[in-house]
Amino acid sequence: MLLAVAPVAALAQQRPAAPAAKPAQGAKPAEPVPPEPDGPPYEPQLLQLAEIMGSLAYLRTLCGGKEAQDWRDRMAALIDAEGRTPQRRDRLTAAFNRGFKAYSLTHRTCTDASQEASSRLADQGQQLSRMLAGRYGG
């Protein structure tokens, strides 16, 4: 995938920039989007947790786990609690979807490997959430 993108990126760098479009007469210039404030110091761990939750949502659904829907609900609660800006909500959602998709590409049926991965991910998620709560919780 990177090989396909690299030539396009190189070409884009070689081309001169297109002239900026002039605003229509009497039109107000677009307001710049304010930069997003830096995320909290635990942002990488939070994104990792969201990815684990996405993986668990897929694997538990695949294997008929009773709590399969719980992972989506937990992710919604995480987004409600931590998604202070649209960009932050998008990053959390993208991490969840990345985890979901990663396992959907390799696990088509519930196997021993799927169940082992699910168990391992649940343990990792539990450790990560405990660490986050212990270090940054109130």
Residue 118 CB-density burial (10 A; 0-12 exposed, 13-18 middle, 19+ buried): buried
- Mean pLDDT for the stretch of residues 55-62: 95
What's the predicted TM-score (pTM) here? 0.71
Specify the higher pLDDT residue, 27 or 60.
60
3-state secondary structure of 1: coil
pLDDT tens sequence across 81-110: 998 899 999 999 999 999 999 999 999 999
3-state helix, strand, coil in the chain (%, to 5): 70, 0, 30
Residue spans per domain, the chain: 41-136
Place of tokens 């998604």: 83
